[in-house]
Structure 1
């Protein structure tokens, strides 16, 4: 792994994208630019708050980053491509929907991004990441947010949660939500279809890596029941 010291002399050559005043969802255009950036080159992003969701998204396709807060209070983030990895679909879901909040209000965007980072990345968190994903899954079901629940299930499996643990989760969902709700809302959902795919393919002898690939192909960001972009 490289460090900022290894490539800091190149940042003057980076393409600059100032997203402070951009309207609409700028991420697809930014992702296209990032994918077309060769190894050894980079992109400079200017934003009014620290764009935590971008770190994970661009890391997934081979970038590392360096962030500085300038005197104006804005953040300048330098993304440098150390390895070319084109398929973002191979990585677990990224919180790209958070990039929508600055469209409503810049301060709200900053609060939301920082809150997400505190919730999921802060070193003070005690519960294992996989446990927090499962708690988030069940809370999402309770709130009727099947889209979020589907994403949390897939991330949990990708991060190593055993399918037997998912069995327990769905048994508890049936108990707590009721048979009627489970039958009419959970059963037909993308959440349960993803679970069924895992169980079926395990019985068929598929490896975890093969099942992960199937999950991202069928229930990735291109699936309208799962995508939040």
Structure 2
């Protein structure tokens, strides 16, 4: 699969293709930067990989399936960093640097900060910068990672404290971020399971939502 110049969510294209591959088969993915986000996702599906740098603008990642792990078993973090591909389209060297930086921050071995806390920190930083699109994505991922309603209640109270009642009422209270937070509270209050809540979060605040998506417009 050649991802160079691909329009749309190339990561999802690769995952869909690989989910149906039998054991002892593989696939080659070509990109203009090292496709780091694929490594952990395909590892969850039972793939090992070897990456070859052909040139500064071409990487070939060979994925080989050693065991078959189905969609119901594999753990997939929602809302993948698809926007990294846009950096590569702007400047291939920049795309490579961004991919390596993502690997360092989000896929570090033995991290000192657990993943849920990283998502919450990233969420709070995004709110502080006024980036509610990013904040909503981090909220969905934080819930996937196990954040509780009580933790979210305290976090949103901190937003009021740090940014003021007026700002919260006019900017945050009408945002997709706040709507996603309230959806979690309502569904959990109705006794829905985390999986059921997660399914509705993805349906309403996934890549199909133009206020949340980072994919290139078709």
Length-normalised TM-score, structure 1:
0.79
- 2:62 aligned with 1:78: yes
**TM-superposition CA deviations, 1:58-99 (whole Å, max 9, x none):** 557x4624123346464321234534539x9x7412111101
Worse-matched range after superposition: 171-180 or 204-213? 204-213
Q: How many residues are paired up?
A: 209
Q: Which residue of 2 aligns with 1:8?
A: none
Q: Is the 8 A contact 1:53 1:99 kept in 2?
A: no
Go from structure 1 to structure 2 and tell me whether the alpha carbon gap of 1:166 and 1:32 turns closer, same or farther (over 3 Å shift): closer
Length-normalised TM-score, structure 2? 0.83
1:214 aligns with 2:200: yes
Structure 2 CA distance for partners of 1:36 and 1:126, relative to 1, 3 Å: closer
Distance 1:83 1:123 in 2: 22
Alignment gaps of 5+ in structure 2: none
CA RMSD of the aligned region, Å? Answer: 2.7
**Unaligned stretches of 5+ residues in structure 1:** 1-16
Distance 2:12 2:104 in 1: 27
Alignment of 1:54-203 (within 5 A): 54-58=38-42, 62=45, 64-70=47-53, 72=55, 74-80=58-64, 82-85=68-71, 91-123=77-109, 125-203=111-189
CA contact (8 A) 2:159 2:168 kept: yes
State the alpha-carbon separation in 1 of the partners of residues 111 and 13 from structure 2: 31
Which fold has the larger relative contact order, with Cα–Cα distance below 8 Å and residues 6 or more apart in sequence? 2
- Answer whether contact 1:25 1:99 (CA < 8 A) is retained: no
**CA 1:154–1:70: 2 relative to 1, 3 Å:** closer
Relative to structure 2, which stretch is displaced further, 152-161 or 42-51? 42-51
Q: Which has the larger radius of gyration?
A: 1
